[in-house]
Structure 1
C-alpha cells in the first residue's frame, strides 16, 4: 500500500484527502498565534492538559482518553499496544489508506473483507473472518471511502459476535457530519463492550489537519494499555490551544458543518440524477463508482482519491469544486450507471 499521491501544480481542485475547505476559525487562529510566540518552549512532557480538555468536553473520565498525532497516530498506538508481529487485523476493503500502512509498521497480517455492492461494510463476513490470530477489527462509521453508515442495531449485533480478546477500533473520524439522531451512544457501547475503542480527529470537521491532533476513548483499562506508548513531548503546544478554542466556538463549527453537508447533499443528488450510482454519504466526501471516474476528474484538473476499478472519492464543501466535478463527469455518467448497477445506496442507519 502506497501513500496517496500529492496534487501537482496543474490541479484546479485538490479533493483527494477529504479536507475541510474552510480555514480554521478566526478564534482558533488567534489562539494559535499566541502559542507560536512561545514556540521556543517545549510542550508538556505528557499531554495531560489536552486529555483534560477533551475528557471534559466529551463527558469522559481522563483515564479513558488517549491522544496522538491525528487519528492515525492513535491508531498506530492501539495496534502496537494490543497486537504483535504476525497477528491479524480485519477491516473492510477498500478502507482508509492508513490502516494497511499502520498494519505494516506494526508487522500485522491484514485480512481485508470486500465491501458489499451498495458500499456498505459486510459485518457478517468480518465477524466470520475473525480467528485465533485476530487481535483487531476496524469498523469505520461513516465508512471511508464510501461514506455509508452502519446501523446501530447491526453494529450491536456485530459487537456481540466479536470475542472480548479482540479489540474493535470504531473509527468515527467523520462523526460530526452524521445526523445527530444517528450518532451512537458511545458511553453505553464502552460500558457494554470494554474491548471497543472509539477513534476521532480534529482534522476533518474542525479543519486542523495540519496540526495532527487525534484522540481515542475506551474503558479505563484499555485506554491505560494504549497510553503506555505515549511519546514524550509528542503533542505540540498548539494542540491544547487549538482544541480549547475549537470547542469554545462550537456554534460556528456547526454552521460550517451544516454548509458542507448541504453542499454534499446537493452534489449527491446531482450525480445520482446524472446516472452515477454514488452511495448516500454521511461524511464530507462522496464515493463515485465507475470505471474511469478518476481519469475523467484528472483530465479536468481535479485531484481525487482513486481506487483499482477506477472509482474515485472526492471531498465536498466547495461549491465551485462541486460544479467542476459535475462538468467533468457528465460525458461518462450514463455509461457508469449501466456498468456498476449495484453501487447505489440509501444509506442504512
Structure 2
C-alpha cells in the first residue's frame, strides 16, 4: 500500500517544498562572533626523524600501569555511570581534605567551567548580558565558553611578562560582572598568581561576584608563594577552584575534571551539571590514579626537571621568557611566531602558534626538548626583553 509520504511532492505543497529554495537553518548569532578553538596539531612526518607533539600541553607519559589495568578491567560500560561520581568525590575529598559535598565533577576542567558559567553568567531576560572578566591572553576556550553561555567577555591584557594585571582586572568589574576567571599558572604564558595577590584582589571584588581560580596545572607549580585555591576557598564563599586529571595524571583523553566550592555555590552547580559527564571508565581511572599519587607525583617531578632544563637552556641562549610554572614555556615571538612554528615543523616538532603573539611549547620527551633547544639555538629572532 502506498502511503501519503510516498507520493511525489508538488510545488504547491509547502510541506514538500524544494529545500534549495528555502532559507538555510541559522545558528545563534553569537556563533559568528566567537573564535574557533584550535587544538594542537600533530607533528608532520619528517623522514629520518622521530616526531614529537609539543602543541597540546599533554603529559608525554602514559597513565600509570595500575590505571591502565583499571581501565581494561572496567566492563560495565553498558550501564550509565553514577551521576554523582560518588567514588571519585569521596576519594578526592580525602586527598584534598574537603567535604565531598564541596566537589562537583565535570568533563575535564573545561566541562566544569562550562557548568559554572551556565549557573552564574549569561543572558538574562530583557537585560544586557552578564559580564565575565578574564586576563588575555589566557586559556583559548574562555571567550568561546563565555560567549556560548550568553555572557559578554571582558578581556584585560596581561602584563609584558605574561602575568595577570589584577589591578586592571579589579577596575574592570562593573555592576554587570558576575564571574571573574583567574588562570594560574596562566596558559599559555606560564606565570602563577601568588596567594597574597589573590587575597588582595578578592578584597576588591564584590561578594556577589564569583571568582574562579583555574588550577589545571597546579601540580607542576614549584613557587612557594603560589596561591593554593583549595586553601583559599574555605575562607571565601564566592571562590570556586578548578582542577583536572588531564595534565598531571595523564588522563586527558578520559575527560575528568572538577570544581571545589562551598555548598552555597555547589547546590546551584549541581543543577547545571551535565548528567553522566564522567564515565565509569574515567571515574575508575581517576580513583586508581589518586590511590597511586606517589607515583603520579614522581612522574610530575620528572616533567618539572625537564622544564627546568629547558628554561635554563633557553636563558643560557639569551632568550627572554616569562616565568614557567606549568608544563610548557612561552616564546613571545610577535611577527616571527608563524615562522618559528614552521621551522619547528621542519624538525618534526609540532608547537602551538598564537597568531602574531607567540608560541607555546609543551614540555615533552627528553629527545623532543633537546631538539627544541637546538632549534632555539639556531633561531635568530629571539624575544626582546620587556
Report if aligned partners of 2:193, 2:227 keep a CA contact under 8 Å in 1.
Answer: no
Closer, same or farther: CA 18–221 of 1 in aligned 2, 3 Å: same
* 1:7 corresponds to: 41
* 2:64 corresponds to: 25
Distance 2:300 2:330 in 1: 19
* 1:306 corresponds to: 353
1:325 aligns to 2:372 (yes or no): yes
Runs of 4+ residues deviating >6 angstroms: none
Report if aligned partners of 1:190, 1:219 keep a CA contact under 8 Å in 2.
Answer: yes
Report if aligned partners of 2:41, 2:350 keep a CA contact under 8 Å in 1.
Answer: yes
1:113 aligns to 2:174 (yes or no): no
Distance 2:225 2:299 in 1: 19
Distance 1:238 1:83 in 2: 31
Closer, same or farther: CA 64–5 of 1 in aligned 2, 3 Å: closer
| Displacement after TM superposition at 1:323 (Å) | 1.4
| Displacement after TM superposition at 1:95 (Å) | 0.7
Larger Rg: 2
Query: Taking structure 2 as the reference length, what is the TM-score of the superposition?
Result: 0.84
Distance 1:286 1:159 in 2: 28
1:211-222 map, 5 Å: 211-222=254-265
Report if aligned partners of 1:173, 1:200 keep a CA contact under 8 Å in 2.
Answer: yes
Q: Which runs of 5+ in 1 are unaligned?
A: 343-349
Report if aligned partners of 2:223, 2:325 keep a CA contact under 8 Å in 1.
Answer: no
Query: Taking structure 1 as the reference length, what is the TM-score of the superposition?
Result: 0.92
* 1:297 corresponds to: 341
1:68 aligns to 2:106 (yes or no): yes
1:32-43 map, 5 Å: 32-35=71-74, 37-43=75-81
Out of 273-282 and 131-140, give the one that drifted further: 273-282
Q: RMSD between aligned alpha carbons?
A: 1.7
Q: Which runs of 5+ in 2 are unaligned?
A: 1-34, 46-50, 124-128
Aligned length: 338
* 1:347 corresponds to: none
* 2:85 corresponds to: 47
